[in-house]
Structure 1
Amino acid sequence: MPPRLRPVSGVLALPVVLTLAACTSGSGPGPAETAVASSTGSSVSTSTAPTSAIPTPSMTTGQPETTAARPARPVRSAATLRKALLQLDDLPPGFSIEAMDQGDANPVISSKRAQCKALIDIMNADHAPGSTASAATSFSGGQDGPWIDEYLDALGSPARVRVFHDSITTAVKACPSVTFRLPDGRSTMSVRAAKAPDAGDHSVAFRVTADGGALDGLEATQVATAVGDVELTMMFFGAYPDEIDAATHAAAEKVEDELGGSSSMSS
């Protein structure tokens, strides 16, 4: 989910959030997406093939994974994920649905620091690594925001989500800043970990802030959390902490209600 830029008060603004969905191997974006309009008019993107493999517990410990005693894992589809996305009636009055492709331009994200490669890969990828199905929607709270993007990815097991979130935490700690390049200028974006809402499981968050340049002063926050085997990514621009917390809780509860999944991170 590469960053999207939005016009705010007549100027280009930072994307609602920088996506966390990517592998740290640097293999690049995931499979091609198909834009789909849901019955409510929300914009969603779907994929049916994994972008790349991520370690399972057996790969990280060197021990064979035992599956005989485990219950069958649910098979998620783009259609079922779309039903679990937030709708307008799940949000406070004043929000509207925004087309996912409304952004005017996408920045080129880079860094000269070798230790930032993992975070650059994460910010530039299209889907969470290993995603077998995905869906997305976007909302605007008005000309001055807030803007909220929501992405769902089926990863097959809670353990896969946990491994991905651990890679996010490691990448954010290693990279103090990245550079956004736009047609009319560039900005250095400081990167720092943020307090994640306690919705879902194993939630993580980080924030990027423009320090001078074309996007001076702009700030975006991204939250990633798990509801069972489903990766939930929330992207915020122009949102206050209580708005981030409320929207993330609403999204996690909607996923659990619609998919009947448990927000337990046990594998």
Structure 2
Amino acid sequence: MRTLCVTLLGLFLVSGCGSDEPIETSRDSQPAATEEVAEPRVLTSDELTAALLTVDDLPTGFSVDETALEDLESTDEIVRASGDSCTDLWEATETPFGDEEYVEASAAFAGGELGPFLTQDLIAVDESAVASEFATLQLAIEDCTSLVSRDADGFETSVEFAPITAPDLGDKNFAFEMRITYAYGDVEVDALATMVMTSVGGNLMILSSIAVEMGEPFEAAEFEALAQVAVARLQDAAAAR
């Protein structure tokens, strides 16, 4: 998983309205008690890769963004934060599941030089680890409303966090919005990023978009449609025997 700083620069790159309702939801439709439904499998790296979105799934004008998938070492440190839980939120977003071993697959796309940008991460761990991660993030974002990080070169990233209503896509759903300001000296660039996390058994999908102030954002319906396609593929893969 790439670091938060790198993600914000090009990957973190779903839509929803602010709400006081819990941001973790469950699917309303449940199978009848007499139905036998197989538990979703935890997928392999190859299976995760096969389940990723492709350029053909995106609107015209998008291309694969290979540079966004480069794994760079972060030197960022939090220099100001609104609450103690910001550290938990930072660490959980930078390195999900801590030191636990997991497999993942990623894809990144750009709709032009100024975006919008889209990133998809698929991670396979197990259900208990996914549930713990969701609980950690939900508690953290309720307390952490903003933070400022700075890297070794003096580049600052200011982020304001706000929970949003997550689309009802998988077993568990979590979403939040980030208003971001990148600053280096007298130069500042604003961006709006949103992230949705959805679990299918022990498999986790993170779908993120970012729009810089000079670029075009995703339409809300367009982004949610992509999220539905992405989750459907993950569900199909996890159900295959």
TM over 0.5: yes
Could you tell me which residue of structure 2 aligns to residue 95 of structure 1? 62
Could you tell me which residue of structure 1 aligns to residue 163 of structure 2? 193
Aligned 1:206-221 pairs, distance under 5 A: 206-210=176-180, 213-214=183-184, 215-221=188-194
> Is contact 1:191–1:207 with CA below 8 Å preserved after alignment?
yes
**Equivalent of residue 242 in structure 1, options 214, 221, 226:** 221
Residue 179 (structure 2) pairs with residue 202 (structure 1)? no
Give how far 1:145 is off. 1.1
**Equivalent of residue 151 in structure 1, options 107, 121, 125:** 121
> Is contact 1:16–1:221 with CA below 8 Å preserved after alignment?
no
Provide the rounded CA distance (Å) in 1 between the counterparts of 2:87 and 2:70.
28
Residue 76 (structure 2) pairs with residue 108 (structure 1)? yes
Provide the rounded CA distance (Å) in 1 between the counterparts of 2:73 and 2:112.
20
Give how far 1:168 is off. 0.9
Could you tell me which residue of structure 2 aligns to residue 160 of structure 1? 129
Q: Residue by residue, what CA displacement relative to the aligned partner does 1:23-61 show, whole Å, maximum 9, x if unpaired?
A: xxxxxxxxxxxxxxxxxxxxxxxxxxxxxxxxxxxxxxx
- Any idea what SS the aligned residue of 2:167 has? coil
Residue 149 (structure 2) pairs with residue 180 (structure 1)? yes
Give how far 1:73 is off. 7.1
Q: In proportion to residue count, which structure has more helix? A: 2
Provide the rounded CA distance (Å) in 2 between the counterparts of 1:224 and 1:73.
17
Could you tell me which residue of structure 2 aligns to residue 141 of structure 1? 111
Give how far 1:216 is off. 4.1
> Scaled by the length of structure 1, what TM-score is found?
0.65
Give how far 1:227 is off. 1.6
Could you tell me which residue of structure 2 aligns to residue 34 of structure 1? none
Could you tell me which residue of structure 2 aligns to residue 3 of structure 1? 4
Give how far 1:131 is off. 5.0
Bigger relative contact order, structure 1 or 2 (CA pairs below 8 A, ≥6 apart): 2
Give how far 1:85 is off. 0.9
Give how far 1:138 is off. 0.8
Residue 222 (structure 2) pairs with residue 252 (structure 1)? no
Q: Residue by residue, what CA displacement relative to the aligned partner does 1:186-222 show, whole Å, maximum 9, x if unpaired?
A: 2421111122222223211112213584444212111
Moved more, 206-215 or 143-152: 206-215
- Any idea what SS the aligned residue of 1:86 has? coil
- Any idea what SS the aligned residue of 2:123 has? strand
Give how far 1:185 is off. 3.7
Could you tell me which residue of structure 1 aligns to residue 44 of structure 2? 77
5+ residue gaps, structure 2: 14-37, 212-216
**Equivalent of residue 200 in structure 2, options 227, 230, 237:** 227
> Is contact 1:109–1:120 with CA below 8 Å preserved after alignment?
no
Could you tell me which residue of structure 1 aligns to residue 27 of structure 2? none
Provide the rounded CA distance (Å) in 2 between the counterparts of 1:84 and 1:206.
24
Structure 1 residues 128 and 135, CA gap change in structure 2 (3 angstroms): farther
Provide the rounded CA distance (Å) in 1 between the counterparts of 2:87 and 2:40.
33
Provide the rounded CA distance (Å) in 1 between the counterparts of 2:48 and 2:116.
24
> Scaled by the length of structure 2, what TM-score is found?
0.71
